[in-house]
Amino acid sequence: MAEILALVEAWLRTAFGEPDARAAVTFLGTDRIEVLRFAEGDLVRYATLGMSAHPMTDPTDVVADPVRGPRAELVLTVRGGIAPTDKLLRPLAVLAASPQVEGLIVAPGASLDVGEPLWDGAAFSSVLVAEPGGLVEDLELDEPMDPVRFLPLLPMTANEAAWKRVHGAAALQERWLARGTDLRDPLRSAVALD
């Protein structure tokens, strides 16, 4: 486990440079989850470290495979200096712990909700899990382990999350694109859904 996390951290450093802050959260019955913060110009990237230590398993499996199965870390990018987004550290750690706590397999197209604003004053309490590979390439691990995928998170308002449940993730992403929505703006309002 420690060896995998060391590889993941080195991979994140290669992609984003040195983190300028980190925080750790431990939930009862789970491994420690860290959140690293990387500043890049006017962007701030938050990446989890710890979710990939174990493969995600289907809760209906009788026996969890300790080696095979999808592995992931979460990455959320916002424009810095506009809102108190460092409050994201705990919600991101909660989301990263969800495979261990709730037996979830976090995959592109999924919605994850923390039940409260992602940071003080945020219009977002949930995120859409986007396709990996754009920001950080998959990290290949020794066989038979699956690679670590770095899943981007896109903050959603409550209305966007409800619309996505009805119309699907692809339709919401198309709507954001068609309206020129800046998904990195921590103060953005919901996209028009009419």
Q: Name the 3-class secondary structure at 144.
A: coil
Distance separating alpha carbons of residues 161 and 127, to the nearest angstrom: 8
Which pLDDT belongs to residue 77? 97
Which pLDDT belongs to residue 26? 85
Which pLDDT belongs to residue 29? 74
pLDDT along the chain (194 residues), means of 10: 92 96 84 94 96 86 79 97 91 92 90 94 96 93 95 97 96 95 95 84
**Given its phi and psi angles, is residue 12 left (phi above 0), alpha (psi -120 to 50 degrees) or beta?**
alpha
- Confirm whether pTM is higher than 0.85: yes
Given a contact cutoff of 8 angstroms between Cβ atoms, the answer to whether 80 and 39 are in contact is yes
Which pLDDT belongs to residue 103? 83
Which pLDDT belongs to residue 27? 80
Which pLDDT belongs to residue 65? 75
Given a contact cutoff of 8 angstroms between Cβ atoms, the answer to whether 168 and 60 are in contact is no
Given a contact cutoff of 8 angstroms between Cβ atoms, the answer to whether 191 and 160 are in contact is yes
- Residue 152 backbone phi and psi in degrees, to 5: -70, 145
Q: Which of 140, 129, 119 is nearest to 99 (CA)?
A: 129
